[in-house]
C-alpha cells in the first residue's frame, strides 16, 4: 500500500504495524457500510492490496522477501477487521491488539533477521576484494588487524541512519579498548551517488568513524549475500567471515573477543 511504502525505508516493523491498522480499519468500515456484500468486499480488499505487490514478489522473490511480512500484515489486518465486525466486543479488540504487536515487533524482526543474516555459508574469505577510499582503493587483505568490522549501509536506509550514533559509540569503544579491531562503515552507492555523498551524510550525523564505499552492483555484496541494510560483517585476521548480523548482535560477538 502506498501509504506504508515510505515507512519501509525507516522501519519495517512500523510499516507492518501501519499496514495492519490501516487494513483493520478499512475492512471494518467497508463491511459496516456493505453488510449485504461481505464476501465481495473482502475479495475486493485482498485483490486491491496484492494486485501490485504479488507480481513483484513472484518475479523477484529473493530481493523482495525481506519485506514480505508487510503485505502479509495487510491480510492479518483484514482478518482481524472481519472478526471484530462479527464480534464487536472489547475482548476481541484486546486480543487483536496483542496479535498485532506480536506480529509487528516479534515475528517481523525475526523474519527480517532470518532473510538478512542467516544465509551465510562458512569459509567465505574477502581477501581478494577491494573497496573504495576517498582518493584510492583498499584491498581487504591489506588491513592488518585481528578483527575487521564492516557496517554496510545505504543512503535510503532509515534504520541505518538511526543506528549511526550506535556505530559511533562502538567505534569510540574500540579505539579505547580494542586495538586489535578495525571498524569501518561501507557506504553502498546507487545511481549517480559518489563517495562524497556518504561522507556528507556521516558528517550530518557528527560521525567520525572511517568510511569506505562500494557500488550497489559490486561483487562483494553478492558474495556475502547481503540482502538488506544495515548488515554488519566481522572478519578474522585471515579475512574470513566469522559473523554476519545486526549491530546489536555484532556488539555482543565483539565482547567475547
Query: Other C-beta atoms within 10 Å of 107: how many?
Result: 17
Quick one: 113 and 203 in the same domain? no
Question: How do the pLDDT tens digits run along the chain, 257 residues long?
Answer: 545 555 555 567 788 899 999 999 999 999 999 998 999 999 999 998 888 788 877 887 776 787 888 889 999 999 999 999 999 999 999 999 999 999 998 998 888 778 776 656 667 999 999 999 998 999 999 999 999 999 999 999 888 999 999 999 999 999 888 779 999 999 999 999 999 999 999 999 999 999 999 999 999 999 998 878 899 999 999 999 999 888 988 998 888 87
Q: Given this model, what pLDDT does residue 8 score?
A: 52
* Model pLDDT, residue 49: 86
- Does any domain span residue 200? yes
Query: Do 111 and 182 have their domain in common?
Result: no
Q: Are strands 231-235 and 241-245 parallel, antiparallel or unpaired?
A: antiparallel
The answer to whether residues 110 and 140 belong to one domain is no
- pLDDT tens digits for 186-196? 999 999 999 99
Instruction: Tell me how crowded residue 74 is: count the other CB atoms within 10 A of its CB.
Output: 26
In a domain, 44, yes or no: yes
CA-to-CA distance for 71 and 49, rounded, in angstroms?
A: 8
The CATH number linked to 202 is 3.40.30.10
For the stretch 113-116, contacts whose Cβ atoms lie closer than 8 Å and that sit 24 or more positions apart, written own/partner, are: 113/245, 113/246, 115/65, 115/66, 115/68, 115/227, 115/228, 116/66, 116/226, 116/227, 116/228, 116/231, 116/246
Handedness of CA 211, 217, 218, 224 (dihedral sign): positive
Indicate whether 111 and 186 sit together in one domain: no
Beta bridge partners of 245: 232
The verdict on residue 123 lying in a domain is: no
Domain boundary among 59, 91, 117: 117
Distance between CA atoms of 248 and 239, rounded to whole angstroms? 21
In a domain, 238, yes or no: yes
**Residue 139 within any structural domain of the chain:** yes
CA dihedral 108, 118, 55, 29 (to 10 degrees): 0
Beta carbons of 140 and 148 less than 8 angstroms apart: yes
Q: Are 239 and 154 in the same domain?
A: yes
Is the same domain home to 38 and 96? yes
Task: Out of 94, 117, 140, pick the residue that ends a domain.
Answer: 117
Question: pLDDT tens digit string along 95-153?
Answer: 999 999 999 989 988 887 787 766 566 679 999 999 999 989 999 999 999 999 999 99
Angle at 27 between CA 22 and CA 31, to 5 degrees: 155
Strand duo 181-189 + 211-215: pairing: parallel
Q: What is the pLDDT of residue 120?
A: 63
pLDDT of amino acid 110:
85
Whether residue 158 sits in one domain with residue 69: no
Domain that holds residue 171: 130-255
Q: Please indicate, yes or no, whether residues 144 and 84 belong to a single structural domain of this protein.
A: no
Is 125 among the domain residues? no
Residue 122 inside a domain? The answer is no
Tell whether 137 and 201 lie within a shared domain. Answer: yes
154/113 same-domain check: no
Would residue 124 count as lying in a domain?
no
Task: State how many domains the chain has.
Answer: 2
Amino acid at each position: 500500500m502506498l501509504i506504508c511504502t515510505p515507512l519501509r525505508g525507516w522501519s519495517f516493523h512500523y510499516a507492518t504495524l501501519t499496514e495492519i491498522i490501516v487494513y483493520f480499519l478499512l475492512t471494518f468500515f467497508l463491511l459496516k457500510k456493505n453488510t449485504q456484500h461481505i464476501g465481495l468486499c473482502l475479495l475486493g480488499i485482498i485483490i486491491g492490496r496484492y494486485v501490485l505487490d504479488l507480481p513483484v514478489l513472484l518475479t523477484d522473490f529473493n530481493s523482495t522477501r525481506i519485506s514480505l511480512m508487510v503485505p502479509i500484515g495487510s491480510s492479518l489486518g483484514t482478518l482481524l477487521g472481519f472478526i471484530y465486525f462479527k464480534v464487536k466486543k472489547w475482548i476481541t479488540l484486546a486480543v487483536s491488539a496483542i496479535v498485532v504487536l506480536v506480529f509487528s515487533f516479534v515475528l517481523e524482526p525475526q523474519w527480517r533477521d532470518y532473510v538478512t543474516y542467516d544465509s551465510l555459508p562458512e569459509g567465505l574469505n574477502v581477501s581478494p576484494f577491494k573497496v573504495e577510499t576517498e582518493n584510492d582503493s583498499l584491498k581487504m587483505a591489506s588491513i592488518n588487524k585481528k578483527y575487521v568490522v564492516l557496517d554496510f549501509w545505504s543512503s535510503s536506509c532509515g534504520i541505518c541512519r538511526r543506528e549511526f550514533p550506535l556505530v559511533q559509540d562502538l567505534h569510540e569503544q574500540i579505539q579505547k579498548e580494542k586495538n586489535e579491531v578495525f571498524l569501518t562503515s561501507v557506504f553502498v552507492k546507487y545511481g549517480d551517488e559518489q563517495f562524497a555523498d556518504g561522507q556528507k551524510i556521516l558528517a550530518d550525523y557528527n560521525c567520525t568513524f572511517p568510511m569506505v564505499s562500494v557500488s550497489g552492483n559490486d561483487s562483494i555484496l553478492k558474495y556475502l549475500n547481503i540482502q538488506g541494510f544495515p548488515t554488519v560483517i566481522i572478519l578474522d585476521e585471515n579475512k574470513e567471515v566469522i559473523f554476519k548480523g545486526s549491530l546489536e548482535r555484532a556488539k555482543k560477538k565483539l565482547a567475547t573477543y
